Chain A
Amino acid sequence: ILNVEQSPQSLHVQEGDSTNFTCSFPSSNFYALHWYRWETAKSPEALFVMTLNGDEKKKGQISATLNTKEGYSYLYIKGSQPEDSATYLCAFPKNSGNTPLVFGKGTRLSVIA
Chain B
Amino acid sequence: EAGVTQFPSHSVIEKGQTVTLRCDPISGHDNLYWYRRVMGKEIKFLLHFVKESKQDESGMPNNRFLAERTGGTYSTLKVQPAELEDSGVYFCASSQERLYGYTFGSGTRLTVV
Instruction: Report which A residues bind B (CB closer than 8 A).
Output: 4, 32, 34, 36, 41-44, 46, 49, 51, 89, 91, 93-94, 97-106
Distance in angstroms between the alpha carbons of A100 and B73 in the assembled complex: 19
Distance in angstroms between the alpha carbons of A64 and B60 in the assembled complex: 32
Q: A98-B99, A102-B45 are in contact. Are A41 and B3 (CB under 8 A)?
A: no
In the complex, residue of chain A having the shortest beta-carbon distance to the beta carbon of B100: A49
Instruction: Report which B residues bind A (CB closer than 8 A).
Output: 3-4, 9, 31, 33, 35, 40-45, 48, 56, 59, 91, 95-107, 109
Q: In terms of DSSP, what is the predominant structure of the interface of chain B?
A: loop
- Distance in Å from the Cβ of B28 to the closest Cβ of chain A? 13
- Distance in Å from the Cβ of B51 to the closest Cβ of chain A? 12
Q: A98-B98, A100-B59, A104-B42 are in contact. Are A46 and B31 (CB under 8 A)?
A: no
In the complex, residue of chain B having the shortest beta-carbon distance to the beta carbon of A105: B42
- Asked whether B43 lies within 8 Å of A103 as measured between CB atoms, the reply is yes
In the complex, residue of chain B having the shortest beta-carbon distance to the beta carbon of A96: B100
Distance in angstroms between the alpha carbons of A49 and B100 in the assembled complex: 8
Residues on the B chain within 8 Å of A89, using CB: 43
Distance in angstroms between the alpha carbons of A41 and B56 in the assembled complex: 27
